[in-house]
Structure 1
Amino acid sequence: MGNTAPPRLNIIGAGHLGQTLAHLWHSAAVFTIGEIVNRTLESSARAAGFIGAGTAAESLNACAPAEFWLISVPDSAIAEVATALEAHLSANASAGDSRPCVFHCSGALSSEVLAELAECGCEVASAHPVHSFATPEKSVSQFTGSWVALEGPATKLLETRFSAIGAHCFHLQASDKSLYHCATAIACNYLSGLMDYSFSVFEQAGIPREQAAQLLAPITAQTLDNNMQLGPARALTGPIARGDAATVRDHLRQLQARGLNPDLYRSLGQQTLQLAERNGKLSEEQVRALREALS
């Protein structure tokens, strides 16, 4: 980032995401990590220890000025934190001071939730890494190559900072942020629900979850790769792709008999049938029979 000292970054809410980004930014000399404010001083100290930099602070009042502020608290708390930060910045402002860049990392909320800060002269933005922050230890080694959705007036200030730690950036409009987040939740969060559903069905067939995970690991990895490389339509296999309504009806009978939520199977099947129809390989009779089976 040049020969000058990196700009200072204060962090409010250094959980898995905040710790990962701060560790990477510190290691790459993108930011000088300043104060870290978590719910408890002990939590802030643990975060600073993982990051390898920064100072645990009990509250905003203990924070020194910084050019950048990261708000990485739960979505429901962002507006409240933004209000508190605006009050802190206004109370400690001196004549001629420039206002910092403040950004949050919510996937669902836009930078508009930081409107109070924007009105008092801060640069604001939202930056959502498309990455599963299961543990900071794993994420710091896996983050390179992740994509980051940037939105808001201050995106140019953040793009180079994320690029410096190996991220690819793209830009969103505020009005599209929630729908974008919905799409990522379907593909990522709902995949976990889908796998749990599959494991439950395996258990009813007498196959323990541990064994089911072993037998599914190769085929699900291959299926994911095929979907990403070929697209869902060309990757689709199975009874619906073959027009096999009899197998679909048998699946539904088995699920119904075991109390395994056949409605979820129907909903997924109806979406899959639309995909199969786009392939153009099913006859009208096969499509009609599958619709009846899934209705």
Structure 2
Amino acid sequence: MKHVGIIGMGRAGTVLAYMLAQHDYHVQIVLRRPQSTAVTIKDQEFAVKTLAQVVEEAEILMIATPDKVIGDIVQALSVMDLTRLRAVFHLSGAVSTDILDPLRTQKVAVGSLHPLQSMADLEQSLIHLPGSTLTYDGDPAMLAWIEDLTARLNCRLVVAPPEMNKALYHAGASMASNFLVTLAAMGSECLRQAGFSEEEARKALTALMRGTLGNLENLPPERALTGPIVRGDAETVRMHLDVLNTYIPNLLPAYGALGALTGAMARQTGSLPAPQHELLQGFFK
């Protein structure tokens, strides 16, 4: 099954279209507001077709639209003849596969295939997607095809258990990815007010964060944790709170909330003795 239709050309749709084409899949694109009969991604040209045309020609259909549009696409598909289609997947990490149930009446396999990767830029996404996790939640009948696709893209596959809480899964992914950027912005603001240029702050902090992520690749979070809180260094933590209160008070709530969670983790693992933990928790209230 090498004929794939992709509905939508957001970040995930664009990246997957290009990578699938690089692995000899025949990819056609459906756009809600097409302005031409073809789109070019890097050096690859893709035909732009209507939804009706793609349904007649593709074997696999991937819905790569914003979450709020998936239901509209399913409604449009439900009144079409889907005889040629083998499967319809959406790429959302938050939306249940139940939204695709109206298509089951035509014996089409359905599921979600979520790339667990940050896709802010095409070039960076093409670098980072290999090695990433694809989370599959859907009909077992398509698992062999999903496994083959995952291997071709050099990704890791996780098959979601039936009881998986998808909202909780997506919340965890969002915190680990989106809030990492927020933390970098917070740290950058501190360094810039301390005297670094914006470029110096960005380079310094991304190198620091790469080191931390490298630790997390090889160690559980509690062993990767470093810094004044896990050491029970109340004097340094107090200094942080005082200087933030003076210069960047809007960061105090985040520092306090994250500090309390960090202290609790350090206490649970025994790294932080109870007296120091109680003292630090008092700072964070």
Q: Residue 280 of structure 1: SS of its match in structure 2?
A: coil
- 1:285 partner amino acid: P
User: 5 Å matches for 1:185-264?
Assistant: 185-258=174-247, 259-264=249-254
Change (3 A) 1:240 1:287: same
Number of residue equivalences: 280
User: 5 Å matches for 1:176-187?
Assistant: 176-187=165-176
Residue 115 (structure 2) pairs with residue 129 (structure 1): yes
TM superposition shift of 1:193:
0.6
| 2:3 equivalent in structure 1 | 8
TM superposition shift of 1:151:
0.4
Residue 160 (structure 2) pairs with residue 166 (structure 1): no
Q: Residue 134 of structure 2: SS of its match in structure 1?
A: strand
- 2:70 partner amino acid: I
TM superposition shift of 1:44:
6.7
Please, which runs of 5 or more residues in structure 2 have no aligned partner? none
| 2:104 equivalent in structure 1 | 118
Q: Deviations over 1:23-75 (max 9, x none)?
A: 2222222x3223x111332377225x547354212x32343332111100011
User: 5 Å matches for 1:16-31?
Assistant: 16-29=11-24, 31=25
Between the aligned partners of 1:137 and 1:210, the Cα distance in structure 2 is 21
Give the structure-2-normalised TM-score.
Answer: 0.89
Contact 1:26–1:51 (8 Å) recurs in 2: no
| 1:152 equivalent in structure 2 | 138
Q: Deviations over 1:211-237 (max 9, x none)?
A: 112222332211211122122211211
TM superposition shift of 1:191:
0.2
Change (3 A) 1:9 1:208: same
| 1:270 equivalent in structure 2 | 260
Give the structure-1-normalised TM-score.
Answer: 0.86
- 1:45 partner amino acid: A
Contact 1:105–1:128 (8 Å) recurs in 2: yes
Contact 1:20–1:51 (8 Å) recurs in 2: no
Q: Residue 250 of structure 2: SS of its match in structure 1?
A: coil
Give RMSD over aligned pairs: 2.1
Between the aligned partners of 1:145 and 1:187, the Cα distance in structure 2 is 17
Between the aligned partners of 2:187 and 2:265, the Cα distance in structure 1 is 21
Q: Residue 260 of structure 1: SS of its match in structure 2?
A: helix
Percent identity (aligned): 31
Please, which runs of 5 or more residues in structure 1 have no aligned partner? 1-5
Contact 1:71–1:103 (8 Å) recurs in 2: yes
Residue 274 (structure 2) pairs with residue 284 (structure 1): yes
Change (3 A) 1:44 1:14: farther
Paired residue for 2:77, among 77, 80, 85? 85
- 2:153 partner amino acid: I
Between the aligned partners of 2:206 and 2:42, the Cα distance in structure 1 is 32
Change (3 A) 1:254 1:51: same
Residue 52 (structure 2) pairs with residue 61 (structure 1): yes
Q: Deviations over 1:256-280 (max 9, x none)?
A: 2222321110000011001211231
Q: Residue 191 of structure 1: SS of its match in structure 2?
A: helix
- 1:37 partner amino acid: V
- 2:65 partner amino acid: V
- 2:32 partner amino acid: R
Residue 70 (structure 2) pairs with residue 70 (structure 1): no
Between the aligned partners of 1:273 and 1:199, the Cα distance in structure 2 is 23
Between the aligned partners of 2:45 and 2:199, the Cα distance in structure 1 is 40
Between the aligned partners of 1:155 and 1:62, the Cα distance in structure 2 is 26
Change (3 A) 1:128 1:237: same
Contact 1:20–1:136 (8 Å) recurs in 2: yes
Contact 2:39–2:45 (8 Å) recurs in 1: no
TM superposition shift of 1:22:
2.1
TM superposition shift of 1:287:
1.3
Between the aligned partners of 1:51 and 1:33, the Cα distance in structure 2 is 14
